[in-house]
Amino acid sequence: RIAHRDVAARNVLITADDVAKLADFGLARDVYATTQYVRANRSGVDELLPLKWMALESIETGEYTCESDVWSFGVLLWEIATLGKDPCYDGRTQLSFLQMVGILRQGIRMKRPPGCPEDLYRLMRACWRDVPATRPTPEGLEKRLMQL
């Protein structure tokens, strides 16, 4: 398994046949530096992080897993349901590293988008569970999405 580390709408390409492809525009990160990436210094390393798409365990430890990508996929679903709005936690789109950690530790998650079916929002919430092992698997996500 591979951890992508940056699952977000900005990295999804749609083919002529309407097939979504997950890409990685890591070299273009500076374009998003003001709203989508937050500068953080972990272990003496200065880096730009897509905090609003990251699972708490990845923010705190710098480790990325399939389960942390599932969290990010939940944020991608939220982006789709809002027609591309910037992720918003606790009414704010601009959050520092410490603010984001505090919000996630309190269990605060993004609100259900207007017009979003309850089943889809439940799936997003499942992606954002605190315990990584309790999040849906990619295969489980595919199955549940096909049922919506």
Please indicate, yes or no, whether the overall pTM of this predicted structure exceeds 0.85: no
> What is the model's pLDDT at position 61?
86
All domains of the chain, ordered by start, with CATH?
9-147 (1.10.510.10)
CB atoms within 10 A of CB 31: 12
Q: What is the pLDDT of residues 79-124, one digit of tens each?
A: 999 999 999 998 888 888 899 999 999 999 999 999 999 999 999 9
**Measured between alpha carbons, how far is residue 116 from residues 5, 66, 90, 100, 123 in Å?**
26, 25, 18, 24, 11
The catalytic residue among 6, 69, 86, 130 is 6
Mark whether 24 is an active-site residue. no
